[in-house]
């Protein structure tokens, strides 16, 4: 995987979801389907949550993100992000950095080293791809489309009793834990990439928490496509 492709991949993984293709759903246990649909409705109604996410790609790339995200009325929120790994990862800043989500795009704060190679600009703007769903409901919808979705059993997640469901869809293994009030407590998604196995784990808490994000200054921002189009691109 090239450095440019990897940076987009990491940035999207920090958004805590993958693109979801919601096609026809194969038949599944009625109780499981009912539980997952109830969780989708509850997550949508809650509108926001505090998240704590860890992602790893292969043996040497990882990130930790935490903050509050709102998904009602357009995505908004600020995550504190620490990224560790190779030289490309270090451009993202590991000490820690930020990702800011706004309804039209999200922004990643890069390092001074990156800015020195990008006309002094620290922030990269990433427009959302058509069909992108970064809400927690995306993982639940993906699991609903799995042909092998099933209930694994009861487990505790950070002291809260939840029910574990799992399945495989679109080449990804998806595990979710649903707690009291049909609220999603945790999700884990695993998939294979050219750089190694990707694992994204997110814990959710404080549903309804207030989320905010400030748009970075225009003079300190560069579009992702402009970065990768340059012959001397730092990524």
Give the chain's largest Cα–Cα span: 56
pLDDT of residue 157: 97
Give pLDDT tens digits for 12-30. Answer: 554 443 333 333 444 568 9
pLDDT, tens digit, 9 for 90 and up, residues 119-169:
899 999 999 876 667 789 999 999 999 989 999 999 999 999 999 999 999
Spatial separation of the C-alpha atoms in residues 100 and 68, rounded to whole Å: 10
Helix (H, G, I), strand (E, B) or coil at 92: coil
Average pLDDT, the chain: 84
Residue found by looking up tokens 């009793």 in the block: 161
Q: Are 46 and 208 in contact (CB under 8 A)?
A: yes
Domains, in order of start, for the chain: 3-229 (2.50.20.20)
C-alpha dihedral over 212, 157, 182, 203, to 10 degrees?
20
DSSP H helices in 99-151: 112-116, 137-144
Note if the pTM is more than 0.85: no
pLDDT at 37 over 90: yes
């Amino acid at each position: 995987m090239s450095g440019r492709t990897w940076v987009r991949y990491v940035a999207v993984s920090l958004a805590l979801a993958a693109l979801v293709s919601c096609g026809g759903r194969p038949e599944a246990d009625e109780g499981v389907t009912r539980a997952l649909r109830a969780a989708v409705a509850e997550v949508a109604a809650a509108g926001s949550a505090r998240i704590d996410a860890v992602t790893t790609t292969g043996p040497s790339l990882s990130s930790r993100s935490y903050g509050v995200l709102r998904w009602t009325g357009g995505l908004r929120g600020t995550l504190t992000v620490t990224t560790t790994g190779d030289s490309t990862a270090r451009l993202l800043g590991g000490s820690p950095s930020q990702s800011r989500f706004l309804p039209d795009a999200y922004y990643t704060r890069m390092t001074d080293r990156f800015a020195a190679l990008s006309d002094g600009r620290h922030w990269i703007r990433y427009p959302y791809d058509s069909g992108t769903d970064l809400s927690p409901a995306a993982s639940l919808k993906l699991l609903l489309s799995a042909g092998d979705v099933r209930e694994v059993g009861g487990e505790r997640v950070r002291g809260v009793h939840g029910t574990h469901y799992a399945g495989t869809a679109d080449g990804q293994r998806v595990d979710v834990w649903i707690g009291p009030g049909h609220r999603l407590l945790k999700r884990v998604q695993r998939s294979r990439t050219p750089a190694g196995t990707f694992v994204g784990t997110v814990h959710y808490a404080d549903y309804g928490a207030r989320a905010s994000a400030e748009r970075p200054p225009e003079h300190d921002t560069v579009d992702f496509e402009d970065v990768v189009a340059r012959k001397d691109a730092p990524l």
